Structure 1
Amino acid sequence: MTELTEIDEGAVSLQVGGQKVAGTLLSPEAPVPGFLFIHGWGGDQAEDLAQAEELARLGCVCFTFDLRGHADSGASKDEVTRQDSLDDVLAAYDYLASQPMIDEAAIGVVGTSYGGYLAMLLTALRPVRWLAMRVPALYPDEHWDTPKAMLDKDVVRAYRKQPHQAGGDRALAACAAYRGDVLIVESGKDEQIPREALLSMQAAFRQTNSLSHRIIEGASHAMRDPQHQRIYSTLLTGWISEMVRASRLTYR
């Protein structure tokens, strides 16, 4: 597999049997890009590990984690508010950014469903260079401090079916201010996120460096089909590889 990062070359001279052996040591150039993965509501970090491992092989530092109320993280799921989840995401981002090899100007976020919603909010609070979202969710701002599990599903469903302006809610306002690169991956048979919600998001991204939209035909919201998962993995790694390579060329 081709390395994503630039290579530092260093001349090496070894003494073997009284003779000089010339060599060249090649190692990835530091700092390197970092990527934070945010899983969806009801999911866990295990869903992101395959994609994170792919990016790690490409020379990126990746961090996956379980939101509060999920898997090995603490708290009761029924008590977790959106603010709690956002606090978790901020802590995870700060941990990733603190890693010694990380280029703080080259941090990307990959979010799924509720994780995509949190990723949009994160861009207003931390520097995010690349934003990749699969089936990103949208929620009204009302009842922000109500536990997420207790939100009225009919109200949320109706909200997603309505067109919204760029400043219509906190997530869309964050999209309107975002200036990085965006990838939105839609499921062709998504039973939870209607096309109207995705159109509102796309319309809100007015200042992005680039915006890519892909549809995985026949895929459901959860995307359990292994074939659809492979397609998504290929889309994600290909897009990130392209973005990071372009950023490296820009600063040469």
Structure 2
Amino acid sequence: MTARSETIRIRIEQEVMEGTFLSPRARVPGVLFVHGWGGSQQRDLVRAKGIAGLGCVCLTFDLRGHAAAEARLAQVTREDNLRDLLAAYERLCSHPAIDTDAIAVVGTSYGGYLATILTSLRPVKWLALRVPAIYRDEQWNIPKRQLDKVDLARYRQQAIPVADNRALRACAEFRGDVLLVESEHDEHVPHATLMSYRAAFRQAHSLSHRIIDAADHSLSDRMAQESYTNILVNWITEMVVGERLRLVRD
């Protein structure tokens, strides 16, 4: 990491000593968390606190139609929530301590799906996806709750061609580092969906794929939650430390 140098004078008794302060010049990474459909920022807060301890600025938020605004959930479209995510991204980047070239996005399920699309619209360096859901491109502007669940379940069991899906096309263009986290017994996002995502990251700088044994989609077991927290924090630590070492070498 590059340093800022400041020459100082230290007085002691009748003497004056010359000194130099060296302090970090670079700003810190930013991490944006995107929760899943029907969820909230509450679970993300625990992990964000741990990652903030690494020297990152983290932002969690509630998507439109979620948490306190749950009464509106039936009217929310994917376009609505993508715009929410873009607004949150811009708010994170406006933080005075943020290095806007070092942004990580952590998305869960529906939030992971939106996060991949975000990478085609805004700069993202690191992308962590836990059980990322996937949806057909059609009916983008109808309320998400009105999507055919039976059709969606069949769709997710397929090997989906990259060219046929907006999220996968974004993955194919992404050149940063990627973490994919899968639940062994996921009742909503099957293994085939994770493999469609994995196959799409053709130009990623690095790709890590982890499976949490015996876990369901929502990580209802406390041990599964802890496993995910450890996986995520360790990966973010590796990415942030690696970036700082690169800046030292530069």
TM-score after normalising by structure 1: 0.91
Please give the root-mean-square deviation of Cα atoms over the aligned residues, in Å: 2.2
Q: Which has the higher mean CA deviation after the structures are superposed, 178-187 or 23-32? A: 23-32
Residue 115 (structure 2) pairs with residue 119 (structure 1)? yes
Aligned pairs, how many? 248
Q: 2:180 matched to which residue of 1?
A: 184
2:152 match: secondary structure = helix
Q: 1:56 matched to which residue of 2?
A: 52
Q: 1:173 matched to which residue of 2?
A: 169
Deviations 1:83-113 (A, max 9, x none): 0000000000011011111111100100000
Q: 1:143 matched to which residue of 2?
A: 139
Report if the CA contact (8 A) 1:30-1:101 is conserved: no
Displacement of 1:71 in angstroms is 1.2
Q: 2: distance between equivalents of 1:46 and 1:21?
A: 52
Displacement of 1:12 in angstroms is 6.2
Identical columns (%)? 53
C-alpha distance 43-23 of structure 1, shift in aligned 2 (>3 A): farther
Residue 218 (structure 2) pairs with residue 222 (structure 1)? yes
> Normalized per residue, which structure has more helix?
2
Kindly report which structure 2 residues correspond to 1:43-82, keeping only aligned pairs within 5 A, or say none.
Answer: 43-73=39-69, 76-82=72-78
Deviations 1:40-75 (A, max 9, x none): 001000110011111111000000000000113587
Residue 212 (structure 2) pairs with residue 203 (structure 1)? no
20, 28, 35: which one aligns with 2:31: 35
2:38 match: secondary structure = coil
Q: Which runs of 5+ in 1 are unaligned?
A: none
Report if the CA contact (8 A) 1:183-1:212 is conserved: yes
Q: Which runs of 4+ in 1 moved over 3 A?
A: 5-30, 72-75
Displacement of 1:24 in angstroms is 8.0
80, 83, 88: which one aligns with 1:87: 83
231, 238, 241: which one aligns with 2:234: 238
1:234 match: secondary structure = helix
Deviations 1:141-185 (A, max 9, x none): 111111011111111111101111122210010011111000000
TM-score after normalising by structure 2: 0.91
